[in-house]
Structure 1
Amino acid sequence: MLNKPTLSVAETTRILDAARAEAEKNNWAVTISIVDDGGHPLALLRLDGCPPMSGYIATEKARTAALGRRESKQFEDMINGGRTAFLSVPFAGTLEGAVPVVVDGQVAGAVGVSGVKASEDAQIARAGAQSVAK
């Protein structure tokens, strides 16, 4: 039987706190979404001043990173590079701003962020993911 790491409430809280700290350090109003390895929501935090739409976008970005087992930017780059057929895949979060949470070489979940520039969203997501990554 195989074993895999899973995100508990403690890890989810640590990720959320680290991502929030990165956003607040830079005065960025964002939404942070954390999902498990199957893309199911574990936590969502929309900071004051962030548009409501960002909640949906952050979650879809996180889901894409979790299910795709890679940063959402890689899917955006693929589409921008000409592989437009990938737009028919049922992921709505193929934009930069989400990273998988990797523990012991396995994806345990993902962090998605929406609300500022794509590279800044990714910076926040990485800060969260790195707080528990091994």
Structure 2
Amino acid sequence: MKMSFAQTMLQAAVQEAERLNLKVCISIVDMAAWPMAFLRMDGTPLGSIDVSQKKARTAVLFQMDSADFAKIAHPDGQAYSLENTNGGLTSFGGGIVLKSADGTVIGGIGVSGASSEDDVAIARVAANALTS
């Protein structure tokens, strides 16, 4: 993923968060789960930093959105406690896997600081900025 793509996604996420009057952290990682970009909006709780990073890592490492990961990582799921692997993952919404036009995984974005539903919505707006 190019740095310019990450910057475009950050900008789109911030604009959507501001439109919704929310404060969030946004983490973007490349296809190897290495950090590409990060932003913490003023006033976002500090705990959201780590959560946004784990959401992005979860999405790219398992090539699925973190909300979908939750379906297998819950106590009755097929892979309970899987979130304890890979240096720590997370199993709630806000992490979106990023794919190129041909479906190749190119990275992940994680948003944290609002409700899971709002985090997902902000992350989707940012991910859609890749195809705009």
TM-score strictly above 0.5: yes
Cα gap change, 1:80 to 1:120, in 2 (>3 Å): same
Which of these residues, 46, 50, 58, is aligned with residue 44 of structure 2? 50
Partners of 1:35 and 1:28 in 2: CA distance: 22
Which sections of structure 2, spanning at least 5 residues, go unmatched? none
Deviation at 1:84, TM superposition (A): 6.5
**Which residue does the alignment assign to 2:65?**
71
**SS where residue 35 of structure 1 aligns?**
strand
**Number of residue pairs matched by the alignment:** 128
- Corresponding residue number in structure 1 for 2:34: 40
How far does the alpha carbon of each residue in 1:2-49 deviate from its partner, in whole angstroms, 9 at most, with x for none? xxxxx1111111111111111111011100000001111111101011
The root-mean-square deviation of aligned C-alpha atoms, in Å, is 1.7
Percent identity, aligned pairs only, is: 34
Residues 54-97 of structure 1, C-alpha deviations (whole Å, 9 max, x = no match): 01100010000011111100111223471174314514222211
How many angstroms apart in 2 are the aligned matches of 1:108 and 1:70? Answer: 12
- With the length of structure 1 as denominator, give the TM-score of the two structures: 0.88
Q: Name the SS for the 1:17 alignment partner.
A: helix
Deviation per residue, 1:73-125 (Å, 9 max, x gap): 01112234711743145142222111011112111111100001001101011
* In 2: Cα distance, 1:25 partner to 1:88 partner: 35
In structure 1, list runs of 5 or more residues that go unmatched. 1-6
Aligned match of 2:121 in 120, 123, 128? 123
TM-score using structure 2 length: 0.89
Is the partner of 2:28 in helix, strand or coil? Answer: strand
Tell me, yes or no, if the aligned pair for 1:102 and 1:133 is still in contact at 8 Å: no
Q: Which structure 1 residue ranges, 4+ long, deviate > 6 Å from structure 2? A: none
Whether 1:113 aligns to 2:111 is yes
